[in-house]
Amino acid sequence: MNKGKLIVLSGFSGAGKGTVIKRLREKYDYSLSISATTRAPREGEVDGKDYYFKTVDEFKSLIDYNGLIEWAQYVDNYYGTPRKFVEEEMAAGKNVILEIEVQGAMKIKAQYPNAILIFVTTKDIETLRERLTSRGTETAEVIQKRISRAAEEAESMEAYEFIVINDDLETCVDAVNAIVVSESCKKENRTQFLIDIKRQLDEL
């Protein structure tokens, strides 16, 4: 059985990463890694679905036992990616998606050189602003903050191997899947196949 691939998805806040991931899972059966966090659950959030909610002690213990692929502290809370789920799913041949910001993505790539790093963006910044505004849930100040954040994130786009534009959702989802299929066709990922074919030809 071929090992599954690790797909790291980052992108501008407002580019629609969540929708892309939801559709990818429906259409192509990807596994989604769920983060661990020490922050309190919000209304409606479910443990094991939205996050694994941990105490600070539990989280630190995970760090000590190398149970997280990467972790970071924001304000007073810890966030991290549990190693067990990712490795078990990949071993079972499933492709696993991680939604994570740039620094985390770099840490993943350092440990899993075959991880596929994809940055999701709107087709332009005007569209990004419209999407953030049309949610209707954010104040003008919050929207401005996110746009400023996008400027920082744009600097990091160069670190990603692939840039996918989320203009039409289906096109975007198909493009992400195409990247994953394409990677599996790369010669470097066909080493065993090449060995087998040459052996079969030698035996003739």
Q: Which of 150, 166, 167, 168 binds a second copy (CB under 8 A)?
A: 150
Instruction: Give min distance, CB of 64 to a second copy, in A.
Output: 37
Near a second copy by CB under 8 A, which window of 41-49, 61-69, 98-106, 185-193? 185-193
By CB under 8 A, residue 167 contacts a second copy: no
By CB under 8 A, residue 190 contacts a second copy: yes
Supply angle C-alpha 169, 174, 178, rounded to 5: 150
Looking at the DSSP assignment, which residues form a beta bridge with residue 70?
Answer: 81
By CB under 8 A, residue 198 contacts a second copy: yes
Q: Name the nearest CA neighbour of 12 among 175, 130, 112.
A: 130
Q: Which of 126, 136, 139, 141 binds a second copy (CB under 8 A)?
A: 126
Contact between residue 95 and residue 9 where contact means Cβ atoms under 8 Å apart: no
Q: How far apart are the first and last CA of the chain?
A: 26
Q: Which of 56, 91, 92, 163 binds a second copy (CB under 8 A)?
A: 163
How far apart are the C-alpha atoms of 32 and 49, rounded to whole Å?
10
Q: Which residues contact 148 (CB under 8 A, 6 or more apart)?
A: none
What residues line the site for a second copy (CB under 8 A)? 118, 121, 124-126, 147, 150-151, 154, 157-158, 160-165, 174-175, 177-179, 181-183, 185-187, 190, 193-194, 196-198, 200-201, 204
